[in-house]
Amino acid sequence: MKNICFCFLMHVPMQLRRYRFFEIGQDHYYYDDMATEEHLAHLVSVSYMPLLRALQEMIRLSKGKFHCGLAVTGTSLELMEQYNPELIDIIKELVSSRCLELVAMPYAYSLAAQHSETDFEAQLVKHADKLNYLFGVRSTTLFNTELLYSDEIAQLTYRLGYKTILAEGAQHILSYKSPNYVYRSIAAPKQSVLLRNMDLSDSLAFHFSDTGWPDYPTDANKFISRLQSLPEEENLINIWMGADAFGIYQNAATGIFEFLKALPYYALENGIGFLTPSEAARKSKPSDIVSCPYPMTWAGDSKGLSLFEGNDLQQEALQKLFAVAERVHLCQDQSLKTDWLLLQDANYLHHMNHQDRGESPFESAYDAFINYMNILSDFLQLVEEQYPTTIDNEELNALLKTINNQEKEILKLQTEIKALKKKK
């Protein structure tokens, strides 16, 4: 039996304000709150809310047979709590239906998996705690930033307890294979790897209303017929995209929401079911192994990291940012730690790309770079004040090791105390 695994990504980056050179050392607030609120309001009204309402209707009309995944960054959840709490309520309803799975991801849409194992783990823990606090769930399925994946990341994430990881079904790692199976990681053989069907996902996200696209116009019946025409043994079709594909990239006038709501009817009529990502991994045996020695994402034509660290501007920003990681870890200043988290957002690096800058508010890659580096210069000054660069790395590492050992000892003692209380 064929199954469709939908997964939608929601991420709202904090908009950076125009931060001038003369403000360095004077003003330590880096964000344009009004622009962020306006951006979120637009996303909620034309995309996120209509999409979540459509998912509710699909679950109801299919009598609970429609299942899907949803990935929401922690920073976006914070913004929703502040400005659009009704969105949190709808997600709670969807989670309680057991038809929607909230999957894990880095808290602030960071590329830390590639640059700082410590920060990557910390963001995953923070996101897990957020999901548990708001929705009472914990996930062992991971949707990394930009679907960033490699053998090294697979090994690390499995060690951290993630049984399933989502990745791009890029041709250069699949070769002759199809993305429509469950795979195993060569680096973590017990971890399931689900691969996005690029063709089908992108045909909806970017070409649904494209009159020059071979499948235009696309309707639910035609789309399901296309899935049926796939080889019988290809039983899992992973369709993942940004939630903003619905309402933003494809506006409501294109009929994208009506198309989505009609899918369960035509799929179920033709014997095609729906699964959440964890269900997909659990119900299908891995067909083969997949190896990805170099970082892979779902971004751009190269499916690598070139959109985020492919030029000198991006590389300098990344180097400066992560060079102070250990010093930030030692800081007790919560506002500093919050800035550290937010400044890792991959979108800021994307804005520094010369060819494809995403939805950048800046006129050029250089403008984006200069603005970000002005902010980063101020941030680095604040870090320097707490832990000066005169403290050498050996001394810093020793201090960090001591603190980490103390934290582990405290955790151990807390566990022992709980065990003793249970015995009483």
Phi-psi region of 255 (alpha: psi -120 to 50; beta: other; left: phi over 0): left
The pLDDT, as a whole number, for residue 351 is 97
Predicted TM-score (pTM) of this structure: 0.90
Q: Which amino acid is at 162?
A: Y
Helix (H) or strand (E) holding 409: helix 393-423
In whole angstroms, how far apart are CA 144 and each of 107, 149, 346, 395, 410? Answer: 10, 7, 12, 33, 30
The pLDDT, as a whole number, for residue 182 is 97
Q: What are the structural domain ranges in the chain?
A: 3-290
Determine the Cα–Cα distance for residues 243 and 49; give it in Å rounded to an integer. Answer: 10
The pLDDT, as a whole number, for residue 173 is 92
The pLDDT, as a whole number, for residue 358 is 87
| Mean pLDDT of successive 10-residue stretches along the chain, which has 424 residues | 97 97 95 97 98 98 98 98 97 97 98 96 97 97 98 97 97 92 96 97 94 90 95 95 96 96 97 97 92 96 95 97 91 92 97 92 96 96 82 55 58 67 64
β-pair partners for 104? 142
**Torsion angle, CA of 268/271/277/282, rounded to 10 degrees?**
140
Helix (H, G, I), strand (E, B) or coil at 316: helix
- Determine phi and psi for 219, rounding to 5 degrees: -125, 170
The pLDDT, as a whole number, for residue 386 is 84
As assigned by CATH, the class of the 3-290 domain is alpha beta
- Determine phi and psi for 184, rounding to 5 degrees: -115, 150
